[in-house]
Amino acid sequence: MPETLVFGKPTALTEVPTHYCPGCTHGVIHRLVAEVLDELDLTRRTVGIAPVGCSVLAYNYFATDFHEASHGRAPAVATGIKRARPDLIVFSYQGDGDLASIGLSEVLHCANRGEKVTVIFVNNAIYGMTGGQMAPTTMPGQVATTCPLGRDVEQAGYPIRIAELISTLRTPAFVARASVHSPLHAVHAKEMIRRAFRCQKEGRCFSLVEVLSTCPTNWGIPPAESLTWLEQHMLPYYPLGVFKTPEGPDRAPLPLFGGA
Amino acid sequence: MAKKLMKGAEAMGEAAIQAGCRLFFGYPITPQNEIPEYMSARLPQVGGTFVQAESEVAASNMIYGAAGAGERVLTSSSSPGISLMMEGLSYIAGSELPVVVINIMRAGPGLGGILPAQGDYFQATKGGGHGDYRCLVLAPWSVQEAADLVQDAFDLADYYRNPVLILGDGLIGQMMEPVEFKADRRPCKPLAPKTWASTGWKGDRPRAIINSLFLDPEALERHNQKLAAKYAAMERDEKRVAEVGTDGQYEVLVVAYGTVARVVYTALDDLRQAGVRAAMVRPVSLFPFPYEAVRRAAEKAKAVLVAELSTGQMIEDVRLAVEGRVPVHFIGRQGGMLLTPEDIAARVRELAAGEGSHA
C-alpha cells in the first residue's frame, strides 16, 4: 500500500526550530495561525508583523513575508502595509507587554480606524524576553521580577482585559478571547483565529484574537503545571468567548433605574 | 505645465504626488498643517490614501510599513513631532527603507514656539534617532526649490533605500510663489524594481524580511559597515550647493541655508551697492554637507560669517570645512525671531573692516 501523508507541517511555517522555552505555548499558537493561513489559502499573500518580545523572531518561523516592528507599533506598521497594498493579508503577532502596555495607543486606534488587518494577541501575563517583569496583564498577587511581593493592585491596578476593551469600540469586526492550555481549547482558539482571518479575507475591518498563553520559565512553574495555573488563575479573570462580531451591536450601558 | 502661484506647503504636497507618492500618514502640528490638509483633499483624487495617525510615533511606523511594502510614502511634521518620529526613522534607516519626511521647523526646545527656526540642524544631519545612521537632508530656499527637492527626494530615497529629510521652516511652508511642475521630469537617479519589498511570498524570490534586528554582533557590524558605505557614497555623489558671488573677489563669505539664505541674498545686494565685497555659499544638501565648496570659498575671504536661526549649529560643519584657515563668526536669532538684511549687512561691514575678530 502506498504511503499517504495525512498530517504535516503547515506550508506557512518554515523548517527553522523555534527558540521558545520548553512548555511555552507560542509554538502552538504559531501553528494554529499557520494552519488557518493555509486552510484559507492566504499564505502566499500574507505579510506578518513581529513584535518586540519573545516572538520577536517570528519572522524566522512563518514562511511569509514579514516586518519586524518597534516595540508596540505593529498595528501602525500593519496600517502602513495594508493601506499601501490592500490586496495583502496583514497580521500582527504581539505579546502583552508589546500590545497592552507600550502599544496600547497603536492597537486601539488601528482597531478604531477599522484597519482591515488581524491582530493575534498572546497574553501570558508577564514580560517574557526581558526576564519576567510585571505586565499590565499580570494577575493580582502574581510574582514578577518588578513586583517581587506579587502584583499589588493598590500600586499597579488590576490587569487590563484587552478583548473587552477593544470590543467597546464601534468599528472592529471581530474580537475574541481564546486559550491553548488544553487540546480542546486549542481547537476553539483555532476557530477564533479562523474567524478573524476570514473577516479580513472578506474585506471586513479589524479583527483581534486574544490567546491566553503560558510562560513556565518566568512564572517559575513547570510546563504541565503552568497549564493548570492558567486555567485556575487566568480563566476566571479572562473569560473566553466572542466579544464582538461584524453584526454585533454597540455596548449599551445598563439602565440607571431598574431595567426594561 | 504652466507656472502656478502656490503656498510652499501645498507645493511640497503636490510635488510628492507628481513624484508618484500615493500615501501620506501624519499627525497635525503647527506650522505644517497645510501639507496634510492638502494631501487629505488631493490624494483621493489620484487614487491615493491619506491616514491621520493617532500620533507621530504611529505615523513614523506607518510609513515604515508602507515603504516596506514597496510604495512611495510621505509624512510631514514640525520639530516636536519630528522628535517623536525618531523611533520610526531609526528603524527605517536600519531596515534600509525609502521614505520622505518633511520637517517644517519651529522654535524649540520643548514645546518652544510655532514660529520659524533652524534649531533641528543637529537632529537632522547627525542621525537624530538612536544608533549609527544618517538621513539625506535637503534644505530648500524657495517654493520652487522645495517642490523640486521633494520630487528628487523620492528618487534619492528609492535609490539609496534611505530616509530623505526635507528641512524647511515656517516661512517656506507659508509663503506663496510661482511654481512649475515639469511634465517631462525624469528621475534624478536610476531606479530599480523593489524586489526586496514585502508583497506576499510566492517562492519566486527570497522571503522579504523588513528588519533591523541583528542579534549576532558580527552580522550587525557588517550591517553597520554596509550602511556606512552607503553614507560615504552619498557624501561622494549627492552634495548640493548654491553659490553667490564666489567667482569674484570678496572680503567676507556668508554661509546660510534655507530661508535665511534669502535674507543674506538681499543683504549682499545692499552691500554690493555700498561697495562692500561679500559672497555666499548656500548648502542645499545639509547631509552630505558641502565641505569642499565651503572651504574653497572661505579661502578667498578674510572672514566667514555663518547666519542661522539658532544659537549656532551648522557653524560646526562650517568650522570643520574651514579647518581654522579663516576666522568663522556667527550671527543668529532664536525663538522665532528673524534675521534682517540690515542685521547681516551690518555684521558683514564690521568683518570686512577687520572688526569683530572674536567669534
Q: Output the pTM of the full model.
A: 0.96
Q: What percent of chain A has pLDDT over 90?
A: 92
Whether residue A245 contacts residue A174, with contact meaning beta carbons closer than 8 Å, is answered with: yes
Chain A residues close to B27, C-beta within 8 Å: none
Mean pLDDT within A12-20: 97
Compute the distance between CA of residue B219 and CA of residue B314 in angstroms, rounded to an integer: 34
Do B210 and A67 make contact, defined as CB atoms within 8 angstroms?
A: yes
Alpha carbon distances (Å) from A187 to A31, A39, A178, A193, B43 = 11, 14, 10, 10, 44
Alpha helices, H only, A160-239: 162-166, 183-201, 216-219, 223-229
Query: B212-234, pLDDT tens digit by residue?
Result: 999 999 999 999 999 999 999 99
Query: B11-30, pLDDT tens digit by residue?
Result: 999 999 999 999 999 999 99
**Contacts of B130-134 spanning 24+ positions with Cβ under 8 A:** B130/B86, B130/B90, B131/B90, B131/B93, B131/B94, B132/B224, B132/B227, B132/B228, B133/B90, B133/B93, B133/B94, B133/B227, B133/B231, B134/B93, B134/B162, B134/B231, B134/B234, B134/B287
A200 touching chain B per CB within 8 A = no
Chain B residues close to A44, C-beta within 8 Å: 200-203
Residue (of B141, B134, B152, B138) closest to B116 by Cα position? B141
> Which residue of A lies nearest to B58 if distances are taken between CA atoms?
A76
A56 touching chain B per CB within 8 A = yes
- The number of residues in chain A equals 260
| pLDDT bucket at B303, cuts 50 / 70 / 90 | very high
The overall average pLDDT reported for chain B is 97
Query: A88-101, pLDDT tens digit by residue?
Result: 999 999 999 999 99
Please report the ipTM that was assigned to this predicted complex. Answer: 0.96
- Where do the domains of chain A lie? 26-134+161-244
pLDDT of the residue at B356: 57
Q: Is A73 helix (H, G, I), strand (E, B) or coil?
A: coil
Dihedral sign of CA atoms B78, B79, B85, B90 in order: positive
Compute the distance between CA of residue B300 and CA of residue A87 in angstroms, rounded to an integer: 60
Whether residue B89 contacts residue B81, with contact meaning beta carbons closer than 8 Å, is answered with: no
Residue (of B25, B36, B103, B23) closest to B70 by Cα position? B23
pLDDT > 70? residue B274: yes
Mean pLDDT within B197-208: 96
Query: B327-350, pLDDT tens digit by residue?
Result: 999 999 999 999 999 999 999 999
What distance in Å separates residue B87's CA from the closest CA in chain A? 8
Nearest to B210 among A68, A82, A85 (CB): A68
Q: Which residue has the cell 528621475?
A: B187
**Which CATH number does the domain A26-134+161-244 belong to among 3.40.50.720, 3.40.50.300, 1.10.1200.10, 3.40.50.970?**
3.40.50.970
Nearest to B62 among A47, A56, A76 (CB): A76
Domains recognised in chain B with CATH numbers: 4-201+209-237 (3.40.50.970), 241-352 (3.40.50.920)
Do B61 and A85 make contact, defined as CB atoms within 8 angstroms?
A: no
